[in-house]
């Protein structure tokens, strides 16, 4: 399978092309250890419902940026707990942050989600039966 077969390559943004070149879908050929070691922490960062909701709130925000002050009220959790989850998303390369004045602002790094979508996308010639 070639990168050209991945629909994310043509998605907007220069990041997606780089991502697709780097990582073929895990459904087409066995991942090697290095690829698995690199991908697993990103999936692990998504393996928590609070972090999934935070990522979704950030990613879906019109304008592409969210103040931490707008994220915290959506959860029955302390500010330090929310900040910890945001830190894990940032360390996984899924979001970026910028402090401006009192608050920290977060935005999605779409190349990261593009990459995960790509590795989970079936190759054009699917080796697995759809059953």
Residue among 2, 10, 29, 69 that touches a second copy (CB under 8 A): 29
Burial of 100 (0-12, 13-18, 19+ CB in 10 A): exposed
What is the DSSP track for 78-108? -HHHHHHHHHHHHHTTSEEEEEETTEEEEEE
Structural tokens at position 68: 């931490």
Please give the structure tokens belonging to residue 69: 């002050």
Rounded CA-CA distance 120/9 in Å is 14
**Which helix (H) or strand (E) element contains residue 99?**
strand 95-100
Site membership for a second copy, residue 30 (CB under 8 A): yes
CB nearer to a second copy: pick between 56 and 78: 56
Q: State the minimum distance, in angstroms, from the CB of residue 83 to a second copy.
A: 18
Give yes or no for residue 21 binding a second copy (CB under 8 A): no
33 makes contact with a second copy (CB under 8 A)? yes
Question: For residues 100-129, which are near a second copy according to CB under 8 A?
Answer: 107-110, 113-114, 116-117, 120-122, 126-129
Q: Does position 50 bind a second copy by CB under 8 A?
A: yes
- Among residues 16, 25, 72, 81, the alpha carbon closest in space to that of 48 is found at 81
Residue 60 found at the interface with a second copy (CB under 8 A) = yes
Residues at the contact surface with a second copy, assessed by CB under 8 A: 8, 11-16, 26-31, 33, 36-37, 39-41, 43-53, 55-57, 59-64, 74, 107-110, 113-114, 116-117, 120-122, 126-131
């Amino acid at each position: 399978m070639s990168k050209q077969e991945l629909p994310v390559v043509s998605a907007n943004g220069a990041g997606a092309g780089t991502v697709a070149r780097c990582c073929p879908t895990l459904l087409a050929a066995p991942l090697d250890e290095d690829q698995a070691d690199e991908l697993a922490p990103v999936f692990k960062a998504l393996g928590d419902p609070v972090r999934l909701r935070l990522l979704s709130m950030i990613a879906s925000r019109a304008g592409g940026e969210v103040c931490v002050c707008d994220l915290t009220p959506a959860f029955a959790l302390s500010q330090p707990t929310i900040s910890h989850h945001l830190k894990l998303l940032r360390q996984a390369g899924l979001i970026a942050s910028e402090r401006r004045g009192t608050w920290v602002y977060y935005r999605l790094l779409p190349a990261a989600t593009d990459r995960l979508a790509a590795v989970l996308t079936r190759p054009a010639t699917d080796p697995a039966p759809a059953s």
